[in-house]
Amino acid sequence: MPIRTLHLTDDERHRLLAHAREFGLEVDFSDNFLRIRDVSTNLDVQLPWDEGWARLFSEVCGRSAPWLCFRLGTSSKSLLFALTPQKISRIAYLYSRSKKQDLRCA
């Protein structure tokens, strides 16, 4: 069975990059690879271009999950990109605040 790939438009990639840092992710480009880092969780992956974008999308969705209502029959992509940039920034803020509280409790 072939692996389905995530197809992102240039605008969607731009939006992901714009919000990645708000979610604590650093993204670097080299040749045909995307490197995604988060020093707080020891995440450091370098993946081929398409897989890298899929991973970045996955990381942002995963970090947004507590504040988004994911539903069966609705793609994560259409749900996330239907939000305004301000709403995504608000979710990123809530994620950051939650992460800080988790560190204080540990």
pLDDT tens-digit readout, 19-48? 999 999 999 988 899 999 997 888 899 999
Supply the pLDDT for residue 105.
Answer: 65
Distance, CA of 94 to CA of 84 (rounded, Å)? 16
- Residue 16, H or E segment: helix 10-20
Q: Is 15 inside a domain boundary?
A: yes
Supply the pLDDT for residue 72.
Answer: 84
Q: Is 24 inside a domain boundary?
A: yes
Q: Is 106 inside a domain boundary?
A: no
Distance, CA of 5 to CA of 47 (rounded, Å)? 14
For residue 42, the enclosing domain spans 10-100
Nearest alpha-carbon partner for 16 in 54, 57, 68: 57
Supply the pLDDT for residue 104.
Answer: 61
Q: What dihedral angle (degrees, nearest 10) is formed by the CA atoms of 35, 28, 94, 106? A: 50
Supply the pLDDT for residue 41.
Answer: 82
In the chain, the number of structural domains is 1
Q: Is 1 inside a domain boundary?
A: no
Whether pLDDT at 3 is above 80 = no
Q: Are 18 and 92 in contact (CB under 8 A)?
A: no
